[in-house]
Amino acid sequence: MAETNQLNHAWLASLANPHHDGTTQQIDDFVAAFTTDNQVFNQKKAVIHQARLKEDEVWLKSQRDAVVPLLEAADKKQDSYITATRYIINAHAGLPEDEATKTEAQQCAQVFKDYNFRTDDAYGAESDKIIQMQQNLQAHQTYLTNIGAWTFFTKAVEQAQLVRQYLGQRAQTKGEFVKGEMKSARKATDQAIAELYKTITAMMELIPSAELTALYTKLKGIEIYARQYYLGDGSAVGSGGGTSTNTSQGGESNGSGSSGGTGGTGGTGGSGGTGGSGGSGDSGGSSGSGDSGGSSGTGGSSAVAAPTISGTTPFDNSTQVTIGGPEGASIKYTTNGIAPTLTYGNDYEEAITLNASATVKAVAIVDGQVSEVTSKQFTKNGESGGGGEEGM
C-alpha cells in the first residue's frame, strides 16, 4: 500500500471536542460492523469501543448538566419548608406577652436572625445555614413540634442535604475536572485507533479481501472528510489506486499517474491558479484531468452529486427537513455544527425535525470522494437565523 494512502490517526488530535467525539464514533461503528476471525483485530476493536464509551460519557457530562434541574427542585422545596417554619415561629413570637408560647418563640426567631438568611444566598450557603441551624433548634424540638413547625423544619433539612449532594455531583461535570478527564479519554481513544490501524495495514498486505478494502475505504473517507471540513488543512489524500502528486507554480499544475494501465488522478492547481492538464498513465491508459485553482486532494471536480436539503422556512412551531443523497452514498449532515452519527445506505434519505432556527449543512461521500457542501438556513418565526457553526 502506498505510504500516502495508509490509514493515519494523527489528525484526530487536532479535532475540536464535538468533532472528535462524532468522528471517533463513526470509526467505532464501522470497525464494529467488520467481522473477522483475526483475534488481534477483534481485541483491538473491543479496546476502541470501550475507549469510545468513556469519551462519550465525558463528552455528555461536558455538554449538559443533568444535576441542575434536581438541584433547582431541591432548593425550591428547601426554601418553601424553611419559610413555612419561620412564619409559624414569627407568628407565635408576635403573640401578646402573657401567651405561654411567646418567649420560646422569640428564642427560636433569634436563631433565624443570627443566621442572617438572605435572598441572594448561593445554593451552598443557604443549605449550610439550614443544616447547621438544626443543632441550635434541637433544644426546642418539643416546643416546635407542639406548634407544628418541627415537621416543616426537618423537611427543610432533608432538602438542604440533597442540595449539598447535588452540588457535589455538579462539581464533577464542569470546569477543570471535565477538561482533564476529556483530554485523557481522547488520548485513550486515539491510541486504540492507532493500534487497530496498524493491524488493518498489516492485514491488507498479508490477507487482503474485498471486505477489508471496503472497511479501509470507509475509514479513509472519514479522514478525508474531517481534514477538509473540520480542519481545513487541505491535506486530504485520495483512497485506492495510485498516488497523486501535485506541484504548483505560477498557476500551473502537473499530475502523474502511478497505477499500471490507467492514468492517476490529476494534480490540483495552485492557490489562485488554473489547473493544468492531468497526468498520463504509465502504459497507455487514459489521463486524469486537473482541477482549477487552489483545491487539494483529488483532482477534477467532484463526481459525487451533492445532497439535497428541503423543508419549510420560515416556520412557526417546528418543521421537517429532508436530506437526500445519491445512490450508495453516505450522508454527513450537521445542524449548527453538531454532527450525528454517519449513516450509510442506498438512496439515502433522512428526515429530521427542527424546533428552533438552524443552519443545516450536508455532504455526500462515495468511495472516499466527498461532494460539494449543500447548505440551507431554516428560521423560526420570532427568532433570528441559525446559530454559530463549527462543522462543514
pLDDT above 90 as % of the chain: 32
7 and 54 housed in the same domain? yes
Q: What is the pLDDT of residues 374-391, one digit of tens each?
A: 888 888 887 755 444 444
Cell of residue 121, nine digits: 444566598
Please check whether residue 387 lies inside any domain of the structure.
no
Express each pLDDT in 222-242 by its tens digit.
998 888 888 875 443 333 333
The verdict on 194 and 56 lying in the same domain is: yes
Q: 71 and 166 share a domain?
A: yes
pLDDT at 279: 39
Give residue 177's pLDDT band: very low, low, confident or very high (50, 70, 90): low
- Whether 141 contacts 150, CB under 8 Å: yes
Summarised one tens digit per residue, pLDDT across range 238-260 is 333 333 333 333 333 333 333 33
Q: 168 Cβ partners below 8 Å, 6+ apart?
A: none
Range of the domain at 210: 3-63+176-244
Mean of all residue pLDDT scores within the chain: 75
Q: Is residue 106 domain-shared with residue 231, that is, in the same domain?
A: no
C-beta separation of 366 from 328 below 8 A: yes
Question: Residue 153's pLDDT is what?
Answer: 96
In this predicted model, which residue has the larger pLDDT, 297 or 182? 182
Domain membership of residue 302 (yes or no) is: no
Residue 172 neighbours by CB under 8 Å, 6+ apart: 61, 178
Cα–Cα distance for residue pair 334/392, rounded to 1 Å: 8
If pLDDT is split at 50, 70 and 90, which confidence band does 180 have? confident
- Give the residue, 173 or 60, on which the prediction is more confident: 60
- pTM of this structure: 0.40
Rounded CA Rg of the chain: 32
CA atoms of 89 and 143, how far apart (whole Å): 10
- Asked if the structure places residue 347 within a domain, the reply is yes
Q: Quote the number of domains for the chain.
A: 4
The pLDDT-based confidence of 186 (bands split at 50, 70, 90) is very high
Residue 235 lies in a domain: yes
- Does residue 392 fall inside a structural domain? no
Task: Determine, yes or no, domain membership for 320.
Answer: yes
pLDDT tens, position by position, 76-100: 999 999 999 999 999 999 999 888 8
DSSP string, 39-63: HHHHHHHHHHHHHHHHHHHHHHHHH
